[in-house]
Amino acid sequence: MTEHSESLSQSQLDAYWMPFTGNRQFKEDPRIITAASGMYYQDDQGRSIFDGLSGLWTCGFGHNVSAINAAIAEQAGRLDFSPTFQFGHPGAFQLAERITQFMPEGLNRVFFCGSGSEAADTALKIARGYWRARGQASKTRLIGRAKGYHGVNFGGISVGGIGGNRASFGEGIASDHLRHTWLKDNYFTPGQPEVGAELADDLLELITLHDASNIAAVIVEPLSGSSGVFPPPKGYLQRLRDICDQHQILLIFDEVITAFGRMGANTGSEAFGVKPDVINVAKQLTNGAMPMGAVVVDQSIYDCFMDTKAPHYALEVPHGYTYSAHPLACAAGLASLDILEREHMIERVNAIAPVFERSIHQLANTPSVVDIRNYGLAGGITLAPYEGEPLRRPFEVAMSMWQKGFYVRYGGDTIQLGLPFIVEAPQIDQLMNALGESIGECA
Ligand code: PXG
Ligand code: PLP
């Protein structure tokens, strides 16, 4: 029996409650991926499908990277699991130091977790704990931004700014939101938009409302990914940084999508030239081969926790996950960061990003395209809603693309593209031609 002829029973299909999926539609018409290599998946019909989102923004180097697989296998044969509460294994320390080599100067202490959502809640707790350790326990308020995505845990959805992810779940953590930066004046701007830096002044209004003595941190994605790829307006992030500095508010960059190459730089911080106090990473850290997230903090934050009068054996922060710094994830992370460097992945992104930019913006005149945005190897296309059914068109476009042999992400009113770092011009052409056709079909 070939691998792609294996079929799933109805009761197997029924048993799995799929994440962020229309389960009823999926189970009527399953899309089953059985294998992957390089930039292509194989489905259970034996078709080859181009990976237009690098997994879920995870697999920039392509799939089944032999050096990563070998590192995981080697680690599994030596130390499969090890408790990381009160004990350590070498890979955790090695990966922590390795990560800091990709971070801005001073961000050199790393707390591990299992995902981007855990990174968000970890960073928010660190921010509150930091001010408490500094004797400013009233600084608890957390500020996010509209259209922000910080995962799905309670902290993350509270600061997150995607209504659909929060509205069903009742009270969260007290938080406020800056306005998003998606302005009509900027529609169809390649790269960073010119207009909108002044939107950072929303933070000043929130400071007037709450007083800085009650605000712990602002968390933003330097480029909002999940809600549709929104690069920051020129000057916007610097303005946020300046206001945070003036008012002693921590600035957290959620770089779960932007770190480790997708922006054509080590981080979004580097790409956009603004240094936060905390950077969250996940996804590309292991090229998606193992689940892992991390929160990287400025040394002054770590030092503040260590500067305590509590006994030296006491916990400085009562926080951590069973799978924090899992040995297999650490092995995958070390192998991935080696590849990022050795195979000049960031240079590759920078070389191909202009081709991607030209190509995606050629869809501008396609009917029902409202806006197109891009930066590095991330792209977002907003589509006009069908009357009364705002979410249907992107879904139909993505399904049409799947039929044509391309995986693209749809969410809300947008189609998102996150091409593998190893993509070349012919694949970009094929993808955009197919996408133009699919959008046309759903007009
Ligand atoms: N922060 C950011 C900025 C993210 O992009 C998370 C946190 C949460 O990470 P986890 O590992 O808990 O999922 C993310 C994840 C999409 C898409 O299609 C984006 C994400 C996840 C799945 C799909 O844009 N972002
Ligand atoms: N729930 C229970 C009952 C547990 O024992 C634990 C961990 O020991 C957790 C939740 C947390 O799990 P994790 O550390 O994987 O986040």
Domain extents in the chain = 3-61+344-441, 68-342
Q: Which ligand approaches the C-alpha of residue 54 most closely?
A: 1
Report the alpha-carbon distance of residue 257 to residue 228 in Å, rounded.
12
The residue whose CA has the least distance to atom 17 of ligand 1 is: 226
pLDDT digits (tens, 9 = 90+) for 21-72: 999 999 999 999 999 999 999 999 999 999 999 999 999 999 999 999 999 9
**Ligand 2 pocket residue status of 112, Cβ below 6 Å:** no
**Ligand 1 pocket residue status of 282, Cβ below 6 Å:** yes
**Ligand 2 pocket residue status of 26, Cβ below 6 Å:** no
CA 304 / ligand 2 centre spacing (Å): 27
- Helix boundaries (H) for 39-107: 54-57, 66-78, 90-100
CATH class, domain 3-61+344-441, is alpha beta
pLDDT digits (tens, 9 = 90+) for 100-124: 999 999 999 999 999 999 999 999 9
Cα distances (angstroms) measured from residue 400 to each of 103, 327, 366, 437: 40, 40, 16, 9
CA 151 / ligand 1 centre spacing (Å): 6
Q: Which ligand approaches the C-alpha of residue 84 most closely?
A: 2
Q: Which ligand approaches the C-alpha of residue 165 most closely?
A: 1
**Ligand 1 pocket residue status of 286, Cβ below 6 Å:** no
CB 30 within 8 A of CB 8: yes
CATH class, domain 68-342, is alpha beta
CA 257 / ligand 1 centre spacing (Å): 7
Q: Looking up tokens 């290599």, which residue turns up?
A: 37
**Ligand 1 pocket residue status of 124, Cβ below 6 Å:** no
* Residue 409: CA count within 13 A, CB half-sphere: 22
- pTM for the model stands at 0.96
Residues (pLDDT < 50) of the chain are: 1-5
pLDDT of the residue at 6: 64
CA 87 / ligand 1 centre spacing (Å): 30
**Ligand 1 pocket residue status of 370, Cβ below 6 Å:** no
